[in-house]
Every structure is written in C-alpha cells, then in structure tokens.
Structure 1
Amino acid sequence: MSQNTRLKKLRQASAFLVIGGLAFVVDALTYNLLVFWVDGRGPMFDAPVPAKIIAIVVASIVTYIGNRYWTFNDRHLPPKLSRYVLFVVFNLIAMGLQLGCLWFSRYVLGLDSVLADNISGTIIGQILATAFRFFTYDRFVFPHEEKTPVSENA
C-alpha cells in the first residue's frame, strides 16, 4: 500500500470516527432524555429498547449525512436505490448489536441504572456497531465506483 493510500485511509478513518463521535453524542443524549430525563425516570423509562431504537434512528441520520458528504466525499456515487437499501439493512444489523447489548444488560443482568444502560447500549453497543458500520459502509454503501466515460458517439 502506498504512502498516499495509507494517508487517505487514515483521513477517512479519522473522519468516520469524528462522525461516529457526533452520532454517539446524539444517540446518548436522545436516549437519556427519553429514558432518564432530569429526575431519573423519563417518559420511556419502562421502554428502554424502543427508546434506544428512536435514539439510533436519529443518530443514523447524522451518520449518513456526515459519512456521505465528508468521510466518503471523494467517491463518485450516482444515486441508487440499492445504496439506500444497503444503508438501512446495515443500520438495522448495527442497531441489533446495540439493542442486544442493552437488552442483555436490562433483562438478563437486571441492570437499569443510567450507568448500566450507557455502558451496555451506548458504549459497548456503539463500539460494536461502529466497527460493523465502518467496514460495511466502506465496502458496500459508499464503494469506489469508476466514473463511466461519456461516449462521443452518444
């Protein structure tokens, strides 16, 4: 791998992590407002999994916009329905990773504190989901596609 390619990958990974950090904040704020609010018992305290789904959907919008227009902005990507379908499918899988961590903590371990929910669903779940998203976005959602030359005869 050339030095230029390594630098490009490093820039791309760094941008992805910045966008992921922003999405992490959006996810955590949304979830904590819905579940714990100010007094420790928010409107969705007894429904943490649906609250996490809402938080992830909001954060996913942030990740799509940030990754499409910053992280992977060097790629020629003509609009394709399949790209959006893949984005949704991969985000549903990533959501499953996060929800699985939260569900396990809440319903198997019986932990329902602010700290437990944020460690399981927001930190551990987000790390797993972010790693999954980086590899799938790079390869399938925002792939390198060669520009098709315009024929002079057309």
Structure 2
Amino acid sequence: MSEPGALRTRLDRLFREVAKFGVVGGLGVLVNLAVFNSVRHFSDLPVVRASIVATVVAIVFNYVGFRYFTYRDRDKSGRTRELTLFLLFSLVGLVIENGVLYTATYGLGWDGPLASNFFKFFGIGIATLFRFWSYRTWVFRALPAKEAVQTAESFLEQAPPRQATRRQPDRV
C-alpha cells in the first residue's frame, strides 16, 4: 500500500476508534453524573465519596462498553491481564477525576451543586485523556495487522526448504 494510502487508513481507523471511545465514554459520563447526583440527593455522603461511588459504577459500565463495542476486535486472549490493567488505569483515572473535585471542594471551598457538577465534569475530561491513552496502549492491545502477517507469511514462503540431515547408523 502506498504511503499516503497507509496514512489515510491509519487515520481512518484512529478516527473510528476515537468515535467509538467517545460514544461509550459519553454514555459513561452520563451514568457517572446521574449516579453522582442521585447519591448526593438521596444520601448524606460527602461530595467526594458520592463521586467515588459514581465513578466506580461508571468504570464497570465503561469496561463492558469498551470490551464489547469499542475494542471488540482487539486481542481477547489475556482477559485476566486485561481486566487487571483496566482496573489499575481506571483507578488512576478515578484519582485524577476526584482529585480535581476534592481540590475545588475542600481546597477552594466551591462546594455548591453547580460547582460540584462542573468540577466533576472537568475532572472526568482530564481523566478521559489519560484513560484513552492507557486503554489503547496497554489494556486493549491491537492484534497484529493483516499486512504484517502477510509479509511474515510471504517471507516464510520464500525461504528455501531445510533439508533434514540423516544420521548415519553407528557401526560397531
């Protein structure tokens, strides 16, 4: 494939991946904010604890969406590894997301409902950048490209066949 054609194909794949990630992530944000506001409204949990509960619910929702929609074509052989890395990077995202909310609420004293939702949303945005990079790089790894497999197969076909050497029987 020509260089411009290969670049166009890679950019097209990246665009589709970002779009699918955005759909799942957007729904995850709605789940996150809905749970956050419900917990705040129906319980006495402090703001950041309510946010952590909402983030955990959204992480579960997002894993299902990413595994079965966004990255369904990716390697599925190491599910334990995949889930462990997903949870690890999601935990880092949780800290980023709720660190922003914590700083605004307890560091700056901005703890009204509007401010809490704004900084929750802002924290989600920052954490999303980290999550996108880490999920696509470490968690949902791409299978080998068809071109690479075909190149390797053609290389093997061109190699001359190895001749087996016969071992001469030992003479006594």
- Asked if these proteins are the same fold (TM beyond 0.5), I'd say yes
- Please tell me whether the aligned partners of residues 105 and 120 of structure 1 are also in contact (alpha carbons under 8 angstroms): yes
Structure 2 Cα separation of the partners of residues 58 and 102 of structure 1: 17
| Alpha-carbon displacement from aligned partner over 1:9-48 (angstroms, at most 9, x marks no partner) | 100100101111100000000000111x2xxxx4135x11
Task: Report the alpha carbon displacement of residue 79 of structure 1 after superposing the two structures with TM.
Answer: 3.3
DSSP 3-state at the match of 2:109? coil
Structure 1 Cα separation of the partners of residues 144 and 11 of structure 2: 20
DSSP 3-state at the match of 1:103? helix
Aligned twin of 1:91: 90
| Alpha-carbon displacement from aligned partner over 1:75-121 (angstroms, at most 9, x marks no partner) | 13213322111111101100001111110111011111111001112
Aligned twin of 1:44: 44
Larger radius of gyration: 2
What are the equivalent positions in structure 2 for 1:12-51 lying under 5 Å apart? 12-35=17-40, 37=41, 42-45=42-45, 47-51=46-50
Structure 2 Cα separation of the partners of residues 89 and 44 of structure 1: 29
- Please tell me whether the aligned partners of residues 94 and 133 of structure 1 are also in contact (alpha carbons under 8 angstroms): yes
Q: Give the alignment partner of residue 128 of structure 1, picking from 123, 126, 129.
A: 126
Aligned twin of 2:136: 138
Counterpart amino acid of 2:44?
M
Gapped regions of structure 1 (runs ≥ 5): 148-154
Amino-acid identity (%): 31
Structure 2 Cα separation of the partners of residues 136 and 14 of structure 1: 17
After superposition, the CA RMSD in angstroms is: 1.7
Task: Report the alpha carbon displacement of residue 6 of structure 1 after superposing the two structures with TM.
Answer: 1.0
Structure 1 Cα separation of the partners of residues 102 and 91 of structure 2: 15
Task: Report the alpha carbon displacement of residue 145 of structure 1 after superposing the two structures with TM.
Answer: 3.4
Structure 2 Cα separation of the partners of residues 32 and 80 of structure 1: 33
Counterpart amino acid of 1:87?
F
DSSP 3-state at the match of 1:85? helix
Counterpart amino acid of 2:22?
L
Structure 2 Cα separation of the partners of residues 31 and 81 of structure 1: 29
What are the equivalent positions in structure 2 for 1:108-123 lying under 5 Å apart? 108-121=107-120, 123=121
Q: TM-score, normalised by structure 2?
A: 0.77
